[in-house]
Amino acid sequence: MTTGNQSSETSDMNESLQKVAKGALIVFIGTILGILLGFVGRVLIARNFTQAEYGIFSIGFTILAICGSIGSLGLVDGIPRQIAYYLGRKEIEKVRNVMLFSLLFGLLAGVILFLLIFFSSQIISVAFFRLPELSYTLKVFSIAVPFLIFIHVLKSIFRGFYNSKEKVIFEDILKNLLFVLIVSVVIWLGYSFKWAIIAFTCSVVITCVFFIFYFVIKKPISLFKKAKDKIDFSVGKELLCFSLPLLLLAVLYQIMTWTDTLMLGYFRSAETVGLYNAAYPLGRFISTALLSMIFIYMPIVSTLHAKNKKYEMRRSYVILTKWLCGATFPLAAIFVFFPNVVLHVLFGQEYILAGVALQIFAIGLFVRNLMGPNGATLTAIGQIKFLMYATFAAACINVLLNVLLIPRNDVFGGVNGAALASVIALVSISLLRSIKLYYISKIHSLDKNILKPTFLSIVLVLIVYLAVKGFLTITFWMLPVFSVLFLIIYVASLFITKSFDKEDMDMLLSIEKRTGINLTKVKRLIKKFI
């Protein structure tokens, strides 16, 4: 390879990393805010209504999420991949048609699913969950289904153009903020639990209406260049052919993700579901950085793949995985070492029984982060069939383990068994994806500059925990202090193990340029360890 080509590859890679960093930072902040707001809404319901009612809300929310995933027809990943791919090939007319067909498909799927859930709510509630009171929740949530799907479609269109702020504004912040505000009014007025269900549906509907108005005004490109332009049905067919396998993939992933909640409702009780859904939403925070990165990473790596930029893909994968581990390590450590403190303060004394489940989630989800964005990379490359097989295998593992573990009455049963089943399934699918990705492209995260600082950080944090355990009674106000300490430990481990890459310096230059923060001393220090 010539020096000129190497310089071009490095420039392209730095540009891609900077795009991912910028987009991921926006999505990360927005996702954190969204999860926090959604979490506040859940806490309001958990603290102001009964544990059984919180369990019913969680079951209804799970079914709504599954419907939203099914109704999206795989378009959530199919739309940005196709738009980014056509943009890379400068086929603008095909981009227009992708946008048009995605809106049409989303609308039809939403209406069909609304009718299906609304008229079968009684059967689902009584026959499967033996909870007649769940029927009302499903009927109200079913109204939100088409609006939720349309939000997914609109954000995916903007995602294809590398735009991330729309997801943050509408899906993360506005929807969850409206939910918190409306449910707060419901509680303040002393209304019943049924009005809390209505509050969530209203937040989805209002958000969708605002998003539609925004799209009409700010759409990336016009849907029609001229009035006489013809619709290219082949593009719609191609979009469906690419997206429908992703639909099956999404359904399988939803089965793997939400099986725990549904099977706890079947084998145990609504109270147990409520207990589990104290640990699970907290565990999701560890996945936030990965999901934020994937949101903008997938369309960018699709463009790199279209241009056959293999070197940039490999290096970007390693660098981003290292940053991902650093971003999530402190929180994972807090959940592992102080789970009861977190649960007690946020949910109440009765929820500390979910402490072991929270530890299981923290360890498993961090291990998954350590493997990097393998699923998004395989999607960009076009390995959809393999992803379906891998996800199907993981979903089967999850269901089987839930059947075996949830009914048990020991430490590995109930809530803990459901968490263990979920984590084993998630780690299994990530491992399968990593093996396949390495086999076809030599992309992997087993880089010494990732593994060395991670393992050293774990050892140092464990030493700190054992040292303070016998001398301090940990309270909630201490957790932010420990979070900062754990972050310092991880950064120090990077220096001690000399795990910085030159791309890290390029990322810092980009951050310095965009934020105006003077990082000269930091850059000088890093240069000594590159």
pLDDT at 185: 94
- Rounded-to-integer distance, Cα 303 and Cα 83, Å: 10
What is the residue type of 221? I
What is the residue type of 243? S
Side-chain-side CA neighbours of 229 within 13 Å: the count stands at 15
Side-chain-side CA neighbours of 249 within 13 Å: the count stands at 23
Determine phi and psi for 320, rounding to 5 degrees. Answer: -70, -35
pTM for this prediction: 0.68
- Rounded-to-integer distance, Cα 127 and Cα 438, Å: 45
Buried b (16+ CB within 10 A) or exposed e, 391-407: bbbbbebbbebbeebbe
pLDDT at 227: 43
Roughly how many angstroms between the first and final C-alpha of the chain, as a whole number?
A: 23
Find, among 84, 76, 110, 95, the residue nearest to 246 by Cα. 76
Cα 399 to chain center, whole Å? 21
What is the residue type of 33? L
CB atoms within 10 A of CB 216: 8
- Rounded-to-integer distance, Cα 415 and Cα 418, Å: 5
| Burial label, 71 (beta-carbon count in 10 A; 0-12, 13-18, 19+) | buried
Find, among 410, 411, 426, the residue nearest to 369 by Cα. 426
Asked if residue 491 lies in contact with residue 322, where contact means CB atoms within 8 angstroms, the answer is no
Asked if residue 147 lies in contact with residue 174, where contact means CB atoms within 8 angstroms, the answer is no
What SS3 state is found at 271?
Answer: helix
**Number of helices (H), then strands (E), in the chain:** 20, 0
pLDDT at 525: 60
The four Cα atoms 290, 427, 128, 111 give a dihedral, to 10 degrees, of 30
Find, among 391, 95, 393, the residue nearest to 219 by Cα. 95
Element holding 18 (H helix, E strand): helix 3-48
Going 524 to 526 to 528 to 530, the CA torsion angle's sign is negative
pLDDT at 2: 46
CB atoms within 10 A of CB 188: 9
- Rounded-to-integer distance, Cα 463 and Cα 485, Å: 13
Asked if residue 280 lies in contact with residue 335, where contact means CB atoms within 8 angstroms, the answer is no
pLDDT at 295: 66
CA angle centred on 427, ends 426 and 429, rounded to 5°: 65
Question: Which residues, in sequence order, are CB contacts of 127 under 8 Å at separation 6+?
Answer: none
**Tens-binned pLDDT, residue by residue, of the chain (530 aa):** 444 454 445 555 555 555 555 555 677 677 778 878 888 888 898 888 887 888 888 888 888 888 887 777 667 777 887 787 777 677 777 788 888 888 888 888 889 999 999 999 998 888 877 888 889 999 999 999 999 999 988 988 888 887 778 888 998 899 999 999 999 999 999 898 899 999 999 999 999 999 999 998 887 777 665 544 566 667 777 777 766 676 677 677 766 766 787 788 778 877 788 788 888 878 877 877 776 666 667 667 777 777 777 777 787 788 778 888 888 899 999 999 999 888 888 777 888 888 899 999 999 999 998 998 888 888 878 787 888 888 888 888 888 998 899 888 877 788 899 899 989 988 998 999 999 999 888 888 888 888 899 999 999 999 988 888 777 777 778 888 888 999 899 888 888 888 777 666 665 555 555 545 555 655 566 565 55
Domain boundaries, the chain: 19-221+230-499
What is the residue type of 189? L
- Rounded-to-integer distance, Cα 281 and Cα 295, Å: 20
Find, among 462, 346, 56, the residue nearest to 354 by Cα. 346
